[in-house]
Structure 1
């Protein structure tokens, strides 16, 4: 369920960053802020469980960042 949500957010950010590069920063930062909060909350579990719980949030935040930057990078490569 969470994976499908992250894929949907990444797809929306990719399209938004391609169509409106400047306006895509705020939704990207908001999504990364929410995922960072989840990572911090998951990291409070003791020992090994804390690393496992926070890892999915960290990798999801990285995916959201890469999706937004890929859309802006593709827009910059257009000839017009």
Structure 2
């Protein structure tokens, strides 16, 4: 369920960044903030378990950043 939600968020960010490059920064930062809270909460588990539980959240945050960046980069290459 978490993976499907992240995929949907990344697709929405990609389209939003392509259509409205400047307005896409707010939702992207908000999504990263939510993933950061989840990551910091999961990392409080003891030992390696904390690292393993926090990893999906940090990977999702990276995916959101790449998705927004790709949309803005694609928009910048258009001739108009």
TM-score interval, normalised by the smaller of the two chains: over 0.9
Q: String of CA shifts for 1:46-78, please: whole Å, max 9, x gaps.
A: 001100000000000000000000000000000
Runs in 1 of length 4+ with deviation above 6 angstroms? none
Matches within 5 A, 1:6-25: 6-25=6-25
Q: TM-score of the superposition, structure 1-length normalised?
A: 0.99
Q: Tell me how large the CA RMSD over aligned residues is.
A: 0.3
User: Which residue does the alignment assign to 2:42?
Assistant: 42
Question: Can you give the 5+ residue segments of structure 1 that lack an aligned partner in the other structure?
Answer: none
Question: Can you give the 5+ residue segments of structure 2 that lack an aligned partner in the other structure?
Answer: none
